[in-house]
């Protein structure tokens, strides 16, 4: 039996019922055993964060800088090991795992610097002799709820700004994939965070998450996950006047125009739709292709998709790792069936793949003959399933791209400056990608969507201060 990874509450590691973290590439491989927090422990964590806030919100900038930058350096130094852990527990390939760990380090390094750059404004009042100061302060206790698909990068891009701007944190990682999250909490703790500033409560949404939502002492919640849970976070938060930020689903389009470079189009769509096993809210699952290039593009993409090597996340030759767990696999397979029944043509993939180990391997699936009203074109699948929709021209492509409840990321592949410019201006998504994949974003610029995808201020980069601080306006009569 491997050692129990405990929760961190008020600076102490606290035990609980253990839960196994299973490798989706090989279900006989137990990655580790992780303590499940209960309701009382969650309340203790919130109380600890509340008690730690006054001191942390007034802490010296060098203290914040030091913790964040030490954390960044340890993450960089351990990127191979942490990348392996991530790939083993989540199923993305090792280069993807190491890439994500590196991104987490870069985010901590960025926010170490941000701690030193927080500035306000001094503005003359309309009343003579009075001066107005506008400053930003920490919000208070921030609840952080993260999904399984980016088990280190998403926690990093929420925890780093929270701590940087003087907040204290109650962090609930995804129950399914807690290992990488545990590792960064351990690093931050050893980097010298005072007790109570960062509390880890691993466990179920129905227990830990629910207790967080019901607490009047959480001043803000930042959430990435499903639309359904996002709505619960919103409803619960409104009652307490709590600040909240939601990052939810996507049904991201990539438009391929007649004038596209075919190679760029195929690579960009294969990347967006299938890499990381399609398990990204930025994944492109609708490929909207104009008539002139449609057949050549589909042939080339079929060829590319058919040859994608699916297998153990840690194996060198693997391009696409396993689906994360049986319920996600069932959802993917169900949608493949739904697509067939709706009359779309399954051109490649969609079948389970045999491997030497028992895991949740699925050959990426490509549908053609899809129309934008079909369920496979409207609902987020969160797996390696893409739908090609044929359209007449750019105008129809744009209208189809925008005809969705979501609005996270949207791509276009074209060599036309005119269409690229028009699309950047007229896409209803929060992030627009021209000749680059819809997924795989930079760490230092705003991240977020519109419409049903997101709520609240942007994450990442200097825009993160909007959510993680509150503004104060102070008036002083100089006398
Ligand atoms: C990326 O595409 O690089 O859950 C990041 C997600 C997103 C992160 C995507 N919040 O997939």
Q: Is 362 left (phi over 0), alpha (psi -120 to 50) or beta?
A: beta
Alpha-carbon separation of residue 456 from 126, 175, 406 (angstroms): 31, 25, 15
The pLDDT, as a whole number, for residue 478 is 79
Q: What is the DSSP letter of 357?
A: S
Q: Whose CA is nearest to atom 6 of ligand 1?
A: 281
Overall pTM > 0.85:
yes
Domain of residue 48, residue span: 4-248+453-477
Shared domain for 391 and 297, answered yes or no, is yes
Residues 6 or more apart whose Cβ sits within 8 Å of residue 174: 146, 147, 148, 151, 181, 225
Q: Stretch 14-31: mean pLDDT, rounded?
A: 98
pLDDT tens digit sequence for 307-328: 999 999 999 999 999 999 999 9
pLDDT tens digit sequence for 102-123: 999 999 999 999 999 999 999 9
The pLDDT, as a whole number, for residue 191 is 98
Q: Which residues line ligand 1 (CB under 6 A)?
A: 147, 149-150, 154, 224, 247, 280-282, 439-441
Q: How far apart are CA 171 and CA 309, in angstroms?
A: 36
Shared domain for 174 and 293, answered yes or no, is no
Q: How far apart are CA 221 and CA 232, in angstroms?
A: 12
Q: What are phi and psi of 275, to 5 degrees?
A: -70, 160
Q: Whose CA is nearest to atom 7 of ligand 1?
A: 281
Shared domain for 221 and 324, answered yes or no, is no
Under a CB-based contact definition with an 8 Å cutoff, are residues 314 and 321 in contact?
Answer: no
Residues 6 or more apart whose Cβ sits within 8 Å of residue 68: 108, 109, 111, 112, 115, 160, 163, 164, 191
* CATH of residue 168: 3.40.605.10
Count of the separate structural domains present in the chain: 2
pLDDT tens digit sequence for 324-334: 999 999 999 99
Kindly give the number of the ligand 1 atom that is closest to the alpha carbon of 438. Answer: 2
Alpha-carbon separation of residue 64 from 154, 157, 442 (angstroms): 20, 15, 23
Model confidence at 479, pLDDT cuts 50, 70, 90, reads low
Shared domain for 370 and 236, answered yes or no, is no
Under a CB-based contact definition with an 8 Å cutoff, are residues 21 and 179 in contact?
Answer: yes
Shared domain for 262 and 411, answered yes or no, is yes
Q: Are β-strands 365-368 and 385-391 bridged in parallel, bridged antiparallel, or unpaired?
A: parallel
Q: Whose CA is nearest to atom 4 of ligand 1?
A: 281
Q: Is residue 70 part of a domain?
A: yes
Q: What are phi and psi of 106, to 5 degrees?
A: -65, -35
Instruction: Tell me whether residue 281 is one of the annotated catalytic residues.
Output: yes
User: Ligand 1: distance of its center to the CA of 327 in Å?
Assistant: 20
Instruction: Give percent of the chain above pLDDT 90.
Output: 99
Under a CB-based contact definition with an 8 Å cutoff, are residues 52 and 168 in contact?
Answer: yes
From 89, 247, 380, 459, active-site residue: 247
Q: Is residue 445 part of a domain?
A: no
Q: What is the DSSP letter of 392?
A: S
The angle at the Cα of 278, spanning 360 to 411, to the nearest 5 degrees, equals 170
Q: Stretch 241-258: mean pLDDT, rounded?
A: 97
Model confidence at 2, pLDDT cuts 50, 70, 90, reads confident
3-state secondary structure of 6: coil
Kindly give the number of the ligand 1 atom that is closest to the alpha carbon of 149. Answer: 4
Shared domain for 48 and 86, answered yes or no, is yes
Nearest in space to 260 (alpha carbons), one of 442, 397, 387, 427: 397
| Whether the predicted pLDDT of 221 surpasses 70 | yes
Shared domain for 266 and 117, answered yes or no, is no
Nearest in space to 13 (alpha carbons), one of 39, 37, 46, 47: 37
Shared domain for 10 and 139, answered yes or no, is yes
The pLDDT, as a whole number, for residue 217 is 98
Q: Is residue 51 part of a domain?
A: yes
The pLDDT, as a whole number, for residue 178 is 98
Shared domain for 468 and 344, answered yes or no, is no
Q: Are β-strands 220-224 and 141-145 bridged in parallel, bridged antiparallel, or unpaired?
A: parallel
The pLDDT, as a whole number, for residue 427 is 98
Q: Is residue 444 part of a domain?
A: no
Nearest in space to 411 (alpha carbons), one of 425, 423, 421, 395: 423
| Whether the predicted pLDDT of 1 surpasses 90 | no
3-state secondary structure of 247: strand
pLDDT tens digit sequence for 370-401: 999 999 999 999 999 999 999 999 999 999 99
**pLDDT averaged over the chain?**
97
Q: How many helices (H) and strands (E) does the chain have?
A: 15, 21
Shared domain for 262 and 243, answered yes or no, is no
Under a CB-based contact definition with an 8 Å cutoff, are residues 421 and 393 in contact?
Answer: no
Model confidence at 49, pLDDT cuts 50, 70, 90, reads very high
Nearest in space to 153 (alpha carbons), one of 86, 89, 208: 86
Structure tokens at 270: 């294969």
- Ligand 1 mutation target, pool 97, 381, 441, 444, most atoms within 8 A of CB: 441
Q: Is residue 442 part of a domain?
A: no
Instruction: Tell me whether residue 428 is one of the annotated catalytic residues.
Output: no
From 89, 109, 164, 281, active-site residue: 281
Nearest in space to 361 (alpha carbons), one of 400, 407, 328, 316: 328
pLDDT tens digit sequence for 125-134: 999 999 999 9
pLDDT tens digit sequence for 8-17: 999 999 999 9
Shared domain for 79 and 157, answered yes or no, is yes
Q: Stretch 142-153: mean pLDDT, rounded?
A: 98
- Ligand 1 mutation target, pool 146, 249, 281, most atoms within 8 A of CB: 281
Q: How far apart are CA 119 and CA 314, in angstroms?
A: 44
Q: Is residue 120 part of a domain?
A: yes
Q: Is residue 446 part of a domain?
A: no
Q: Is residue 56 part of a domain?
A: yes
* CATH of residue 279: 3.40.309.10
Q: How far apart are CA 333 and CA 347, in angstroms?
A: 15
Shared domain for 195 and 307, answered yes or no, is no
User: Ligand 1: distance of its center to the CA of 252 in Å?
Assistant: 12
Kindly give the number of the ligand 1 atom that is closest to the alpha carbon of 409. Answer: 2
Question: Residue 320: is it exposed, middle or buried by C-beta count within 10 angstroms (0-12/13-18/19+)?
Answer: buried
């Amino acid at each position: 039996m491997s050692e129990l990874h405990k929760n961190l509450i008020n600076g102490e590691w606290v035990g609980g019922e253990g839960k196994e973290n299973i490798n989706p590439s090989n279900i006989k491989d137990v990655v580790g055993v992780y303590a499940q927090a209960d309701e009382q422990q969650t309340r203790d964590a919130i109380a600890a964060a509340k008690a730690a806030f006054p001191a942390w919100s007034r802490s010296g900038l060098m203290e914040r800088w030091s913790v964040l930058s030490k954390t960044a350096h340890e993450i960089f130094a351990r990127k191979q090991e942490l990348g392996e852990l991530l790939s083993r527990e989540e199923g993305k390939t090792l280069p993807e795992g190491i890439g994500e760990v590196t991104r987490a380090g870069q985010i901590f390094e960025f926010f170490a610097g941000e701690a030193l750059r927080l500035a306000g404004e001094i503005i003359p009042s309309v009343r003579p002799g009075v001066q107005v100061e506008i400053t930003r302060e920490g919000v208070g206790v921030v609840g952080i709820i993260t999904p399984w698909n980016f088990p280190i990068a998403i926690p990093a891009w929420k925890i780093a700004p929270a701590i940087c701007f003087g907040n204290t944190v109650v962090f609930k990682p995804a129950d399914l994939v807690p290992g990488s999250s545990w590792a960064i909490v351990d690093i931050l703790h050893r980097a010298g965070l005072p007790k109570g500033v960062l509390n880890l409560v691993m466990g179920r949404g129905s227990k830990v998450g629910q207790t967080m939502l019901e607490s009047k002492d959480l001043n803000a919640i930042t959430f990435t996950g499903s639309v359904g849970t996002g709505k619960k976070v919103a409803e619960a938060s409104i009652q307490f006047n709590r600040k909240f930020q939601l990052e939810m689903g996507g049904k991201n389009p990539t438009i391929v125009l007649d004038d596209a470079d075919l190679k760029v189009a195929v690579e960009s769509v294969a990347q967006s739709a299938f890499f990381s096993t399609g398990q990204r809210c930025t994944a492109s699952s609708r490929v909207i292709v104009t008539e002139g290039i449609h057949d050549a593009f589909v042939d080339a993409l079929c060829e590319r998709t058919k040859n994608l090597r699916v297998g153990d996340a840690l194996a060198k030759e693997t391009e696409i790792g396993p689906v994360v767990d049986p319920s996600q696999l069932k959802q993917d397979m169900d949608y493949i069936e739904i697509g067939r029944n709706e009359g779309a043509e399954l051109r490649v993939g969609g079948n389970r793949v045999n491997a030497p180990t028992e895991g949740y391997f699925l050959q990426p699936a490509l549908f053609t003959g899809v129309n934008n009203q079909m369920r496979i074109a409207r609902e987020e699948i969160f797996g390696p399933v893409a739908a090609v929709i044929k359209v007449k021209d750019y105008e129809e492509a744009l209208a189809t791209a925008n005809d969705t409840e979501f609005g996270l990321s949207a791509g276009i592949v074209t060599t036309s400056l005119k269409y690229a410019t028009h699309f950047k201006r007229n896409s209803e998504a929060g992030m627009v990608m021209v000749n680059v994949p819809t997924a795989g974003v930079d760490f230092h610029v705003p991240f977020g969507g519109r419409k049903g995808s997101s709520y609240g201020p942007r994450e990442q980069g200097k825009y993160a201060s909007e959510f993680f601080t509150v503004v104060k306006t102070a008036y002083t009569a100089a006398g």
